[in-house]
Structure 1
């Protein structure tokens, strides 16, 4: 008797796009206050504190909302959490010695790697429209971010691309291996991985005890310090906002193929720019606005073709 393989879940591309939009607006808002956090605390204490707050919020919401936190496949969730967490640690670590534009541009190579991994590792068909959308979106990201093209290429400038590869691999794992997991399960795993990295970093700095510069410049080298009210407030905002935002991102990757959803993540750039203007009054250049038009066009191509 022949056993038929279970059909792949249908792609709900427009619903995934809506979830990514919520994610982008939440993360775009909270990330505008990372500089405020960096003035008073360190990267590793931030990760550890944010994880404690996020897991506490998840624990409080678990019973009334009937959340399922226990993984069905421990290995798959652990792998995804480790890969995504590692990508974010590399991303934040690069901010200590590279311009933000270069680091962010490296991370936004992720959709290209999603396409490559989906095609060559899983044999998925990638149509010309999705390839075009990724190219258009990536060009838009370059215009918005404006990385310094005169920077010498070396190990330091390659690391943000490594973060992009890890981020892409984690997004593929969400759909391929964790489709049966709840969003809250993967949220808990993601924050647990970052919290573990935070505790490890604090332990290393306690033994190493380097001299950290004052203010935001000492973010990556600063060990455990007594938290200020400002640090606790904005770290809590980060924890709560990340729970909602990353939860929406996880749901998006469960609702459609990673190669479809990845392009929508470019919307985080205009979302961040909107909050920068709304909160601090900074106005975009014409070059940046042109880039955002391309980003919107990339998402529109995927949405229309996805239906």
Structure 2
């Protein structure tokens, strides 16, 4: 942070505002997925974001060029892959389940730190990992008699996000926020373009065809919802970054779990989705586990907007 003085109250409000924005705008994805294409959405939104970032760089004198391009590309590959799965799941699964899967990311960060980086983790954080994965099982509730691997995709998104978060610290030291953000949206745009060119499956009508559709109508209504989703996401992420500038990371990270509440609330208001008691209990366990890990870690990694060196 730029100052030794922290403002925990304002930091909390900023992160809560950011999560409220993300929880609302992520619920707009079904408006896009009913007729549009996952690949089209990421390609168009990615190009929009790159143009906006280029304008911001010109206005503030920043730079988009990376110092270590392969490090930025590697980090972007994992985090963009995570968001590709995340948004794909939003079209066919309740948003609370998808968000809960993404929020297993801190649990994977702990495991990667131990198994790959050789760091030491105490029993409290290991207990939090076990608690969090128990919560994930309660949310997913896999049926051994009819195992549906699609149910595990949000957790895979959490794993990919965790790898990208570790890469942010380990590979991308000294890279600017603009550079990493541009790399992220640029990779999503590339994924989208590849999907448009390569996906050729027969897509069913409606939300189920979101990931299988090559291209959808890019009319005024579709552009409106893509722009609203993109602007809302940028506002949310900006508020989260501001929160991390105003408060201590270990304390601010806890408030990110409010996304579970905001996303589920707007899902109920807009789509009538109701969180079942067992799934709600699983979300609570995941949130508690993540909060414990954040408070016990010296450099907790927030979701959706990791604290990037500037």
Q: TM-score, normalised by structure 1?
A: 0.75
- Separation in 1, partners of 2:258, 2:181: 21
Partner of 2:113: 118
Residue in structure 1 matching 2:158, options 151, 156, 164: 164
- Separation in 2, partners of 1:159, 1:32: 18
Partner of 2:305: none
- Whether 1:74 aligns to 2:65 is no
- Separation in 2, partners of 1:33, 1:163: 20
- Separation in 1, partners of 2:290, 2:91: 31
Is the contact made by 2:106 and 2:162 (CA closer than 8 Å) also made in structure 1? yes
SS class of match (2:34): helix
Bigger mean CA deviation after superposition, 182-191 or 41-50: 182-191
Residue in structure 2 matching 1:40, options 32, 35, 49: 35
Is the contact made by 1:20 and 1:265 (CA closer than 8 Å) also made in structure 2? yes
Flag the 1:223–1:92 CA change in 2: closer, same or farther, 3 A.
Answer: same
The number of equivalent residue pairs is 292
Partner of 2:185: 191
- Whether 1:223 aligns to 2:217 is no
Kindly provide the CA deviation profile for residues 175-230 of structure 1, in whole angstroms up to 9, marking residues without a partner as x.
2222322222211111100100111111114xx3x432222222112222331222
Kindly provide the CA deviation profile for residues 56-108 of structure 1, in whole angstroms up to 9, marking residues without a partner as x.
22223223344432222212111101111123334445667878777655544
Q: TM-score, normalised by structure 2?
A: 0.74
SS class of match (2:124): helix
Shift of 1:231: 1.3
- Separation in 1, partners of 2:133, 2:56: 38
Partner of 1:52: 47
Bigger mean CA deviation after superposition, 60-69 or 34-43: 60-69
Is the contact made by 1:37 and 1:235 (CA closer than 8 Å) also made in structure 2? yes
Flag the 1:216–1:57 CA change in 2: closer, same or farther, 3 A.
Answer: same
Partner of 2:262: 271
SS class of match (1:235): helix
- Separation in 1, partners of 2:262, 2:72: 29
- Separation in 1, partners of 2:13, 2:290: 11
Is the contact made by 1:130 and 1:302 (CA closer than 8 Å) also made in structure 2? yes
Partner of 1:174: 168
- Separation in 2, partners of 1:38, 1:50: 14
* RMSD between aligned residues: 4.0
Matches within 5 A, 1:1-307: 21-93=16-88, 106-143=101-138, 145-150=139-144, 152-153=146-147, 159-205=153-199, 208=200, 210-246=201-237, 266-279=257-270, 284-287=275-278, 289-291=280-282, 293-298=284-289, 300-302=291-293, 304-305=295-296
5+ residue gaps, structure 1: 1-11
